[in-house]
């Protein structure tokens, strides 16, 4: 085999254009070069030989490769045989099947013990965790309760503050109630007192009483039911000369004297009384012979201060003394300091020493100078000319509301 390959190689090297280097570079390259270098002549003869040589070369390469692989297998087999031998030599050190089972069982028992221990620890941990959870829940509940308690305390404080406020309001209301009760009592007293205060002397008999009419404060008056039936309010009295009637307008306006004795009630009060409702006038007259006469008018009224207390009306006269006031109708009131009479050159009030509804100067002078019996015939006294010219001993002017 080796000899044939050698001979063939020598033959090829001797051929023209063929070198050993070309053959060694590979089958395809050699074939290509041979195709180029060979002529038609040699190609038919040499080519099959060259193809055979290339085939031999390929076979030889495959052989080498198989040989190499066989060597590797042999090495592997050797290695395995060595391992097998080694294994056999160590076999007496291996455990028997029962021992192995025992060992495995022991290991399993140990593992089981460990597992049980771990389970117990795990349970303990779980128990601790449960406790922790419970503690945490309790802490959470305590926190919630604390918060709720704080909230309730705040609410309680608010309620207490509200209660204190309400208590203060109640005290204030009680105080106000007491105050109102006192005011009610006072008003009731006032009402009772007002009920007691009459607008006239009707039903009061004789004495000093308090009356009140529109636009005036309550004031005391002398009521008389002894001289001419009952219910008369005395507005003027003359009986002993104890009081001075020669006074100014201011005095006549506000009144003067003593209700139980000689006095003039006052023009303002007479205005209030006679303007509040219709009043009749009764004039009681007594001379020093103790003869009594009277003059009565059905509608007596005077004007206000702005009208200088003008004698507004007298109504219808009746009586026993005659109508000495007729000429005084519609005359303003004159005093020693106020001349409202009809005479330009004479001041009747000054001439007569008194205040009255003088005209020129008239026939009645009931506020004149009180004359004693010895002086009763003197002028400027208390006079009622339709009865007599002498000064009178006793005079009383009274008014009473007409029903
Ligand atoms: Ca005059």
What local confidence, expressed as pLDDT, does residue 314 receive?
A: 98
Q: Mean pLDDT, to the nearest integer, of 374-389?
A: 91
Is the whole-model pTM more than 0.85?
Answer: no
Say if residues 317 and 295 touch (Cβ distance below 8 Å).
Answer: yes
Which pLDDT band, with edges at 50, 70 and 90, does 156 fall under?
confident
The Å distance, Cα 361 to ligand 1 centre, comes to: 9
Q: Is the pLDDT of residue 4 over 50?
A: no
What local confidence, expressed as pLDDT, does residue 6 receive?
A: 45
The Å distance, Cα 357 to ligand 1 centre, comes to: 11
The Å distance, Cα 341 to ligand 1 centre, comes to: 5
Angle among Cα 403, 333, 306 to the nearest 5 degrees reads 80
Q: Which residue has the tokens 């204190």?
A: 164
DSSP 91: G
What local confidence, expressed as pLDDT, does residue 27 receive?
A: 47
The Å distance, Cα 348 to ligand 1 centre, comes to: 6
Cα(131)–Cα(125) distance, integer angstroms: 9
Q: What are the extents of the domains in the chain?
A: 46-102, 207-401
Mean pLDDT of the chain: 82
Which pLDDT band, with edges at 50, 70 and 90, does 365 fall under?
very high
The Å distance, Cα 365 to ligand 1 centre, comes to: 16
Q: Can you read off the two tokens belonging to residue 273?
A: 């009384």
Percent of the chain with pLDDT over 70: 77
What local confidence, expressed as pLDDT, does residue 326 receive?
A: 96
What local confidence, expressed as pLDDT, does residue 13 receive?
A: 41
Which pLDDT band, with edges at 50, 70 and 90, does 92 fall under?
very low
Cα(359)–Cα(243) distance, integer angstroms: 24
Q: Mean pLDDT, to the nearest integer, of 368-390?
A: 92
The Å distance, Cα 14 to ligand 1 centre, comes to: 201
| Phi, psi values for residue 211, rounded to 5° | -130, 165
Cα(204)–Cα(219) distance, integer angstroms: 15
Cα(247)–Cα(245) distance, integer angstroms: 6
The Å distance, Cα 247 to ligand 1 centre, comes to: 17
Element (H, E) at 195: helix 97-196
CA 221 vs CA 166, 199, 217, 233, 388: distances in Å: 54, 11, 12, 7, 30
Cα(374)–Cα(369) distance, integer angstroms: 13
Instruction: Name the superfamily (CATH) of residues 207-401.
Output: Gamma Fibrinogen, chain A, domain 1 (3.90.215.10)
Q: Looking at 1-10, 46-55, 106-115, 262-271, which range is the least confident one?
A: 1-10
Q: Which residue has the tokens 């009586």?
A: 319
pLDDT one-digit tens code per residue, 311-352:
999 999 999 999 999 999 999 999 999 999 999 999 999 999
The Å distance, Cα 224 to ligand 1 centre, comes to: 35
Residue predicted with more confidence, 346 or 187:
346
Q: Is the pLDDT of residue 70 over 90?
A: no
Q: Which residue has the tokens 């160590």?
A: 90
The Å distance, Cα 308 to ligand 1 centre, comes to: 14
């Amino acid at each position: 085999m080796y000899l044939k390959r050698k001979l063939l190689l020598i033959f090829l090297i001797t051929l023209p254009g063929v070198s050993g280097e070309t053959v060694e570079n590979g089958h395809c390259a050699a074939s290509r070069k041979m195709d180029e270098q060979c002529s038609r002549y040699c190609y038919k003869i040499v080519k099959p030989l060259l193809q055979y040589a290339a085939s031999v070369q390929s076979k030889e390469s495959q052989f080498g490769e198989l040989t190499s692989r066989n060597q590797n297998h042999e090495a592997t087999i050797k290695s395995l045989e060595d391992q097998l031998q080694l294994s056999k030599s160590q076999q007496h050190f291996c455990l028997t099947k029962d021992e192995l089972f025992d060992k495995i069982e022991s290991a399993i028992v140990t593992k089981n013990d460990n597992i049980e221990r771990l389970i117990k620890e795990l349970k303990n941990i779980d128990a601790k965790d449960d406790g922790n959870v419970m503690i945490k829940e309790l802490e959470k509940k305590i926190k919630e309760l604390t918060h709720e308690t704080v909230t309730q305390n705040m609410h309680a404080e608010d309620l207490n503050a509200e209660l204190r406020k309400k208590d203060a309001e109640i005290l204030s209301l009680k105080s106000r109630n007491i105050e109102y009760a006192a005011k009610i009592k006072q008003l009731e007293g006032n009402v009772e007192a007002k009920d007691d205060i009459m607008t006239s002397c009707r039903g009061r008999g004789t004495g000093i009483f308090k009356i009140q009419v529109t636009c005036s404060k309550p004031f005391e008056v002398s009521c008389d039911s002894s001289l001419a039936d009952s219910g008369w309010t005395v507005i003027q009295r003359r009986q002993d000369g104890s009081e001075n009637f020669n006074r100014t307008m201011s005095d006549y306006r506000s009144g003067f004297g003593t209700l139980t004795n000689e006095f003039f009630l006052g023009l303002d009060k007479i205005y209030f009384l006679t303007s509040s409702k219709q009043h009749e006038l009764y004039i009681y007259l007594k001379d020093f012979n103790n003869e009594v006469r009277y003059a009565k008018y059905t509608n007596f009224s005077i004007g206000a201060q702005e009208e200088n207390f003008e004698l507004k009306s007298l109504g219808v006269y009746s009586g026993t003394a005659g109508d000495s006031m007729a000429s005084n109708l519609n005359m303003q009131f004159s005093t020693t300091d106020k001349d409202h009479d009809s005479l330009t050159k004479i001041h009747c009030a000054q001439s007569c020493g008194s205040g009255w509804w003088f005209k020129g100067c008239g026939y009645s002078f009931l506020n004149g100078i009180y004359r004693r019996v010895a002086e009763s015939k003197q002028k400027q006294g208390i006079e009622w000319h339709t009865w007599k010219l002498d000064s009178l001993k006793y005079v009383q002017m009274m008014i009473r509301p007409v029903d």
